[in-house]
A and B are shown apart, each in its own frame.
Chain A
């Protein structure tokens, strides 16, 4: 009945109350603690921190709990909080060569200074469901050895010594682009593009990266190096005149090494695709590196033939908070517009019927 649209206020209140009830679930089951989420669903926290653009495990855990485990909803919660925080400035670039490495692998060299370290990886596990995890069984402490403090050199630096790979590129200015503070413009500078990719949806970038491997802008990639570990974040304080360390964050870095035949602009050499993500997220870092390389097509003078190379297409659709908002807004009322369409379709159908009737009644003059 007409009254159906009334009472929005009470309906919203009751819906939220029901949501809180479903979030809690069966009251006889203990409530999840944030510590449990941080410790035991660490990779979910990492994804929420990365795409939410805030490095804070506890807040990520809170967002995951509040979102009932819906990670995109959790990312949204964190973003909406982030945007209210004051900005003090931008940190110094993190130096991943000085990373305290927990995992470091290269697919291009069998052995290299600093060694290959598998770290806590799913790789080479057999994906057999493990019923013992259903119980709270004691887990052995990991093997540990004393780390040597010599930093592991980057694989890209090995190639760079011979001039086989392009240089890292010069930064034009001290100012770093920030798409959360300035309106997005195309074409983008690479720093802003990398920021967009780092915040971008893992699934979307994964699919685009995959498409480049299947021939839509093939880039012959090699995983030159993937490293996961902790880096210092330094902040230059003008009053002090030097940079101080604010703390450490865990990041995943991927350097893709891509074949490049050379062009009118550049000699044949390997080119780079770069991925850097908060936390441990190799899939995202690798997908990001593939996309970064594909998006450098114009810069390297390559033909733009595939979706992954199309900056406006990729960057405009990579943000899952924007995407989910606009897709899901279709459930908001649209009856005013629908009424307008109804009216038009009815009118056009009426005209169609009248036209057909007049035709039917006409003598068959053509014969």
Chain B
């Protein structure tokens, strides 16, 4: 199946990548699924969007997407951020698939920096865009060294780093891209999602795929896999909590964005997951600023 462009000059294969490339990427994905948390090198291609814009996630999605899939793309939890809009439009064009903003309706969700609030189901695939796949990179810049450390499961350095955080600050000072251990074996970077989202990865019903285009790595967490955030017995892993509920939908226990309202310190907190927030408001939930914000939006 090929998709033509308007002027008929150039044609691209279904979902942009040629079938050979898709096969190569699918092999890497299968290997990743077989070895949860292990970073599989793959021959990443140049994509028509810049490195850093989600080329890894886009290649993974392009390799697994079929004509019957329903795609959702989020960036910072939102469907309407510019890059999410752009990637969604890309697949609508080159793969002609149905797109959605509803988490429950999507068969593939490509994400940058968030996991949806709504629990993912069996059969759904969450594709993460990953900038630096190596959790040990900022402790050891050399790939040749970090690959050895993974091979030997030598993760002491990471624990020392977390310990030093506590000794210096009284806290583990990692708030996003918080390292996890997958199925008691590989330490893995969950991509720069806030650590708030880490527990959602554990024993998820959905398949989780991670693509790092510039760094040329793919890794995976199959459904029902143990994903444990690193911590200490006396300093257990904790997620962020917010003091107030979402100002728009009143939700509690969700991740919130801080929105600056004026230059006098006025601010509100709203759901980072826009689909979740809209659903709740449709169901009649109201936050304390919902009326005002609605008016301002019109």
Task: Assess the A333–B75 pair: CB atoms within 8 A.
Answer: yes
CB <8 Å contact, B297 and A1: yes
Chain B residue with the shortest CB-CB distance to A178: B43
Q: Is A312 within 8 A of B50, CB to CB?
A: no
Give which listed residue, B85, B194, B293, contacts A336 with CB less than 8 A. Answer: B194
B41 proximity list for chain A (CB < 8 A):
183-185
Residue among B43, B177, B272 with most chain A CB within 10 A: B43
Docked CA distance A12–B81 (Å): 10
A37: shortest Cβ distance to chain B, in Å? 19
Partner of A182, one of B43, B170, B176: B43
Kindly supply a per-residue 1/0 record for chain A positions 157-194, scoring 1 wherever the CB is within 8 Å of any chain B CB and 0 otherwise: 00000000000000000000001111111110000000
- CB of B214 within 8 Å of the partner chain: yes
Is there a chain A Cβ closer than 8 Å to B149's Cβ?
A: no
Is there a chain A Cβ closer than 8 Å to B46's Cβ? yes
A312 and B143 contacting across the interface, CB-CB below 8 Å = yes
Contacts of B235 in A (CB 8 A): none
Segment of B156-164, B203-211, B220-228, B257-265 in the binding face: B257-265
If A84-B12, A321-B51, A329-B50 touch, whether A336 touches B80 (CB-CB below 8 Å) is no
Convert B67-97 into 0s and 1s, putting 1 for each residue whose CB lies closer than 8 angstroms to a CB of A: 0000000011110111111100100000000
Q: Is A108 an interface residue when CB atoms closer than 8 A count as contact?
A: no
B residues 40-55 touching A (CB-CB < 8 Å): 41-48, 50-53, 55
- A184 near B216 with CB under 8 A, answer yes
Q: Which of B82, B89, B214 contacts A326 (CB 8 A)?
A: B214
Task: State in angstroms the CA–CA spacing of A351 and B240 once bound together.
Answer: 16
Please, how many angstroms separate the alpha-carbon atoms of A19 and B175 in the complex?
37
- Tally chain B residues at the interface, Cβ within 8 Å: 63
Chain A residues within an 8 Å CB radius of B268: 2
Decide yes or no whether B121 CB sits under 8 A from chain A. Answer: no
Complex Cα gap A28–B268 (Å): 50
Q: Which residues of B contact A9 (CB under 8 A)?
A: 80, 85, 89
How far does the alpha carbon of A2 sit from the alpha carbon of B290 in the complex, in Å?
Answer: 11
Query: Using Cβ atoms and an 8 Å threshold, which residues of chain A touch B173?
Result: 344
Q: Which residue of B lies closest to A179 (CB)?
A: B43
With A182-B43, A186-B143, A333-B76 known as contacts, the answer to whether A340 contacts B84 (CB < 8 A) is no
Cβ–Cβ < 8 Å partners of A76 in chain B: 46, 50
CB within 8 Å for A2 and B85 given contacts A80-B48, A347-B171, A351-B170: no
Flag if A2 contacts B46 (CB, 8 Å): no
A83 located at the interface, meaning its Cβ lies under 8 Å from any Cβ of chain B in the complex: yes
A343 with B175, Cβ < 8 A, contacts A325-B53, A336-B113, A336-B114 known = yes
User: A332-351 CB contact bits vs B (8 Å, 1 = yes)?
Assistant: 11111101111110011001
**Inside 8 A of A328's CB, which chain B residues have their CB?**
50, 52
Counted as pairs of residues, one from A and one from B, with CB atoms less than 8 Å apart, the total is 148
Partner of B82, one of A12, A82, A86, A329: A12
| Complex interface: chain B residues within 8 A of A8 (CB) | 80-82, 84-86
CB < 8 Å neighbour of B52 from A82, A83, A316, A326: A326
**Residue on A with the closest CB to B144?**
A186
Residue in contact with A344 in the complex, picked from B171, B192, B255, CB distance below 8 Å: B171
B28 to chain A, nearest CB (A): 9
Centre residue among A8, A324, A344 by max chain B CB count within 10 A: A8
Q: B residues 178-205 with Cβ under 8 Å of A?
A: 192-196
Q: Does A6 contact B (CB under 8 A)?
A: yes
Question: Cβ of B296 < 8 Å from any Cβ of A?
Answer: yes
CA of A347 to CA of B268 in the docked complex: distance in angstroms?
18
- Check if B86 sits within 8 Å of A12, measured CB to CB: yes
Cβ of A250 < 8 Å from any Cβ of B? Answer: no
Q: Is A91 an interface residue (CB 8 A)?
A: no
Q: Does B122 contact A (CB under 8 A)?
A: no
**Contacting B75 at CB < 8 Å: which of A332, A342, A344, A347?**
A332
User: Do A80 and B257 touch across chains, with their CB atoms under 8 A apart?
Assistant: no
Q: When each residue 9-28 of chain B gets 1 if its CB lies under 8 Å from chain A and 0 otherwise, what string results? A: 00010001010000000000
Question: Roughly how many angstroms separate A83 CA and B169 CA in the complex, as a whole number?
Answer: 47
Q: Which residue of A lies closest to B17 (CB)?
A: A84
* Chain A residue with Cβ nearest B178: A340
Contact A329 B131 (CB under 8 A): yes
Cα(A312)–Cα(B261), bound, Å: 47
Decide: B51 and A332 in contact? CB cutoff 8 A. no
- A6-B80, A83-B46, A182-B43 known; A12-B297 Cβ under 8 A: no
Residues of A within 8 A of B12 (CB): 84
- Report if A325-B261 is in contact (Cβ < 8 Å); known contacts: A2-B297, A183-B216, A348-B169: no
Q: Could you name 25 residue pairs across A and B whose Cβ atoms are closer than 8 Å?
A: A1-B261, A6-B297, A7-B80, A8-B81, A8-B84, A8-B85, A9-B89, A12-B86, A76-B46, A76-B50, A83-B45, A84-B12, A183-B44, A186-B143, A312-B143, A321-B46, A326-B214, A328-B52, A329-B52, A332-B52, A332-B83, A333-B81, A337-B176, A337-B194, A351-B170
A interface residues, Cβ below 8 angstroms from B: 1-3, 5-9, 11-12, 76, 79-80, 82-84, 86, 179-187, 312, 316, 321-322, 324-329, 332-337, 339-344, 347-348, 351
5 residue pairs, one from A and one from B, having the closest CB atoms? A329-B52, A325-B51, A183-B41, A340-B175, A325-B50
User: 9 more A-B contacts (CB under 8 A) besides A83-B46, A332-B52?
Assistant: A2-B259, A8-B85, A82-B46, A312-B142, A324-B50, A327-B52, A328-B52, A332-B53, A332-B75
